[in-house]
């Protein structure tokens, strides 16, 4: 759907969560940020901050020590525990 973005959260061992979402929100060293559908290409490191994913009526919450978040072509790939 045009108003959603595909999200995949990967750990070194497995896929933690994958699906379509309305938004992804977190905080990096520059401050809080939100990612919506059709977001510009973006890459950042998130250290020990909550990552929130809004999918349907639920908001999933995750927190990892160190994470790389990469946005490209309406997809968000989150690589955990790096």
The answer to whether 26 and 46 have CB atoms below 8 angstroms apart is yes
- The tens digit of pLDDT for each residue in 51-70 reads 999 999 999 999 999 999 99
Q: Which residue range(s) make up the domain with 29? A: 5-80
What pLDDT shows up at residue 1?
57
Q: Looking at the 3D structure of the chain, how many domains does it have?
A: 1
pLDDT value of residue 82: 82
Give the Cα separation of 46 and 4 in Å (integer).
Answer: 22
**What's the CATH number where 72 sits?**
2.60.15.10
């Amino acid at each position: 759907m045009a108003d959603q973005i595909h999200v995949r959260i990967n750990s070194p061992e497995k896929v933690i969560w994958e699906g379509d979402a309305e938004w992804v929100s977190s905080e990096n060293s520059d401050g809080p940020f939100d990612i919506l559908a059709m977001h510009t290409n973006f890459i950042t490191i998130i250290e020990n901050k909550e990552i929130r994913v809004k999918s349907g009526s639920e908001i999933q919450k995750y927190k990892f020590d160190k994470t790389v978040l990469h946005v490209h072509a309406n997809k968000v790939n989150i690589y955990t525990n790096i």
